[in-house]
Structure 1
Amino acid sequence: MEILQWIQEWFKDNCDGDWEKAEVIQITTLDTPGWEVEIDISKTSIANLEIKWILNEINRQDWYGVKVENSKFLAAGDAGKLIFLLDLFKQMIDKIENE
């Protein structure tokens, strides 16, 4: 399944009449240039998950970082990493749901 379709389905599956009224999925640009993805997981089965900031940097044009804290998935990466960042979120959900 293509990542945008998967995110769309994940969002629909987690809508509960309240959670979706906030800005639960935000995708913004960085001036490095790059992308930042923030996803609210507070009303999901992984709300208590915590992951310290992990930075993977090959060089200034090839990097990404990810963390989960305060019931938010936060990821950032270079200008070519948007799909990758969304897929990191999917992989995290898939792994937890399959345990």
Structure 2
Amino acid sequence: MNTLKWLQNWYLKNCNGDWEHSYGVKIDTVDNPGWSVEIDLTDTYLEDVPFESIEEERNEEDWFYCIVRDGVFHGAGGATNLEEILDSFKTWVLSLERS
């Protein structure tokens, strides 16, 4: 399953009539140029799960990082790195489901 479809399903699984009114997924652009991703983990099974931060800097345009801070998965990256950010979240979640 492609990453975007997987993320849609993850979001839908967490919508319970309450969660989606306060939390969700935000994907935005930034002016360097690049991407910013925030995925709320509060009130999900991921809320207290440790995440090993990722920092990948190949060059000035090809970079991304991902961290979890204050109950939110944060990712940022260059203009062509959005899929890598989302894949990092997906890989983390799937590794927990297999454990």
In 1: Cα distance, 2:83 partner to 2:58 partner: 18
Q: What is the RMSD of the two structures over their aligned residues, measured on CA atoms? A: 1.4
In 1: Cα distance, 2:31 partner to 2:23 partner: 22
Q: How big is the shift at 1:75? A: 0.5
- Where 1:64 maps in the other structure, the secondary structure is strand
- Structure richer in strand, relative to its length: 1
Task: Give yes or no for contact 2:24–2:40 (8 Å, CA) kept in 1.
Answer: yes
Q: How many residue pairs get matched?
A: 99
Deviations 1:28-66 (A, max 9, x none): 111111001000011211101344653211111111011
Q: TM-score, normalised by structure 2?
A: 0.91
Q: How many percent identity over aligned positions?
A: 38
- State yes or no: 1:67 paired with 2:67: yes
Q: How big is the shift at 1:7? A: 0.8
Q: Which runs of 5+ in 2 are unaligned?
A: none
- In structure 1, give the amino acid aligned to 2:45: S
Q: Which runs of 5+ in 1 are unaligned?
A: none
